[in-house]
Amino acid sequence: MTAPSTPGGGILPSEEEIRRVVAAVLDDVTSRESPEPSAVGDRSPSAPAEVAIGADHGGFRLKERIAADLRERGVEVHDCGTDSTDSVDYPDFAHAVARLVADGGCRWGIIVDGAGIGSCMVANKVPGIRAATCWDVTSARNSREHNHANVLALGAGLIGESLALEIVETWLSTPWGSGRHARRVEKITEIERCYLASAQETAERGAVR
């Protein structure tokens, strides 16, 4: 079988190489743009948690309710903030959650803002993340079974608390369907690899100059 190639004709890197590149890029970004502790929280779990959760001020109350419900059910939760309804920027918290999932620190991620759209966009910028905004149980189930989603985005201003808890429960309990869906999800991953490989090639050319 011919190895997948980049848009420029190069061979795609392996999964291990991609993880190394992602880790290096994320470390470089965070070292240059270290957020204030109040923005993303300073919690460092001693062991990987099951679910990372984060929200901006608009999603704070729903985030707190979801986290409490998960803990009551025995799920280990890593709370990335925010810690109040004071105005903050959703990208900080969505990125914190997405990075924990991408790095393997948490198995799943849940992010909450007013509509669930902006945070989803942020999370999907992180390599390895497949974030889905869900507004009902059907979309939650579909995102897991068909799309292998690993981050759930919710809009606190668009759904009620009871529905949100039902969505979370359905999303976490729905297994990945694999089968015919695996081919399509792999194509998503291949697209991501193409751009990571191109970025790596560009970085290497710049380092040689």
Distance CA 21, CA 204 (A): 11
Q: Exactly one of 95, 146, 148, 181 is catalytic; name it.
A: 146
Residues 111, 90: Cα–Cα separation, whole Å: 9
Q: Would you list the DSSP string of 50-89?
A: EEEEEE-GGGHHHHHHHHHHHHHTT--EEE----SSS---
Question: How many Å from the N-terminal Cα to the C-terminal Cα in the chain?
Answer: 35
Q: Could you tell me how far CA 206 lies from the centroid of its own chain?
A: 29
Sign of CA dihedral 21, 76, 161, 141: positive
Annotated catalytic, 146?
A: yes
Residues forming the active site: 146
